[in-house]
Structure 1
Amino acid sequence: MTSAQVLTFGGVVALGAMSPGPDFAVVLRRSVLAGRAHGMASAVGVAAGVFAWAVAAATGVAALVAVTSVAFTVIKLVGAGYLVYLGVNALRSALRSGDFRSGPNPGSTVEPGLWGAFRDGLLCNALNPKAAIFFVALLPQFLPAGAGLVSMLTLSLVAVVITTAWFITVANVVATARRVLSRPATRRFIDGMSGTVLIGLGVRLVFTTAR
């Protein structure tokens, strides 16, 4: 591989990471409701999912998932269910925070602990078969014929570094503005919006096809 190939691959991955989707919604919500550390943990979780799919694509596993209808459907439905689960929880938090009978400021809730934040990011990405399609279509264009383990790991690590950098930046920017974003009305809006988006993405994922 040449440096130009690696840079081009990195640019495509960056565009994919910056595209609005469930990963962004999860990192955003965690950063607003639980703080910088939780947002960064979710970002690392997303990057771990990206690494898993990149390695799977490089070794042919992701291609098998993409063309095997049963495996693709199972991952798709589990991933859709998880997105809907996250979305419903967000909507429930929005409703609770808007219920003044619960107290002056019951606030929004997320599962405590950095592990929960990491798990949300990891599962959100790892259970998305669209990631498999993305890397199956992308990696072969940049791997030379007869590419060895070093080339595969290089591109996988590039994908991880770029994804981590982007989502950690998102987590830090959002956390910096957390004082403003954590106002009750704003928290309700973010919960409601992220919940609606996650449920919508989950429903959309159900109808995703491998081609």
Structure 2
Amino acid sequence: MLTESHILLTLASIHWIALMSPGPDFALVVQNATRYGRSTGIYIALGLSFGILTHSILSLTGISLIVHTHPVWFALIQIAGGSYLGWLGISTLKGLYQRRHNRHQSPQPSSSSLWLDNRKQAFSKGFLTNLLNPKALVFFISLMSSLIPVDFSASGKLLALVILWGLSFFWFALLAWLLSSQRLQHRLQSAAVFIDGLCGVIFSVLGLIIGYHACTTLTLFA
């Protein structure tokens, strides 16, 4: 029988591998850290990690499992997540188009209130991108149900939440830090348009696929 320490180590290892897999979270950090710099990337990472923490709590308490076992509820979450990813993709492509046709426009002056809004927006964007991702919901249900036994101690569950949140923030913050280093920034600026376009397409396609599957599910129960 596995001890709690072995279970937590297995949990951390699986989660770490999953974090490094390309997906919406990864693309969001790459896009924002490349274009807007380190601070925005860090706040994106913080939002993503809190989204993961929320999924972990919902999975441990069984709420996510209840949602997943009700096809209509899960389909509604898929529609919300797909719509949000699609909105991110369209907004990115629209912003790319506008920037290419308004290069002569001078940037807006920065202020403390604007910086505060940007930090809030970065955190919210990261949080919602992860929270509304139906694949994340399914992943954490599978992870928690297969590894965390019913008789797992309260301190063990709390430590599991800390591990999942800590690894998530560390990875995405590290990614944002590396991508926004001065040397790499000079190299990435020339590819910023390509990165924005690629991320915009990824978000749009993922949103479309998720939305399509959700609508298909709803038609079966209509």
Q: Is 2:8 aligned against 1:3?
A: no
Question: 1:9-158 maps to which residues of 2 (within 5 A)?
Answer: 9-99=11-101, 102-104=102-104, 113-158=118-163
Match in the other structure for 2:111: none
Q: Secondary structure at the match of 1:113?
A: helix
AA of the residue aligned to 2:68: A
Q: In 1, Cα distance between the equivalents of 2:130 and 2:81?
A: 8
How far 1:166 sits from its partner (Å)?
Answer: 0.8
CA RMSD of aligned residues (A): 2.0
Q: In 2, Cα distance between the equivalents of 1:150 and 1:73?
A: 34
How many pairs were matched up?
203
> Does the Cα contact within 8 Å between 2:58 and 2:64 map onto a contact in 1?
yes
Match in the other structure for 2:187: 180
Q: Secondary structure at the match of 2:199?
A: helix
How far 1:104 sits from its partner (Å)?
Answer: 4.4
Q: In 2, Cα distance between the equivalents of 1:64 and 1:173?
A: 39
Q: Is 2:211 aligned against 1:206?
A: yes
Unaligned ranges ≥5, structure 2: 108-114, 218-222
Q: Is 2:194 aligned against 1:189?
A: yes
Q: In 2, Cα distance between the equivalents of 1:53 and 1:25?
A: 19
Q: In 2, Cα distance between the equivalents of 1:45 and 1:5?
A: 26
TM-score by length of 1: 0.88
Percent identity of paired positions between Structure 1 and Structure 2: 28
- 1:27-86 per-position Cα deviation (integer Å, ceiling 9, x unaligned): 111101111010010111011010001011111001011111222111111111111111
TM-score by length of 2: 0.84
How far 1:208 sits from its partner (Å)?
Answer: 4.8
AA of the residue aligned to 2:84: Y
Unaligned ranges ≥5, structure 1: none
Match in the other structure for 1:166: 171
> Does the Cα contact within 8 Å between 2:45 and 2:126 map onto a contact in 1?
yes
Q: In 2, Cα distance between the equivalents of 1:41 and 1:24?
A: 14
AA of the residue aligned to 1:88: I
Label 1:105 to 1:12 Cα distance change in 2 as closer, same or farther (>3 A): farther
> Does the Cα contact within 8 Å between 1:94 and 1:187 map onto a contact in 2?
no
- 1:139-185 per-position Cα deviation (integer Å, ceiling 9, x unaligned): 122223322432222212111111111101110111112232223xx
> Does the Cα contact within 8 Å between 2:4 and 2:156 map onto a contact in 1?
no
> Does the Cα contact within 8 Å between 1:23 and 1:125 map onto a contact in 2?
yes
Larger Rg: 2
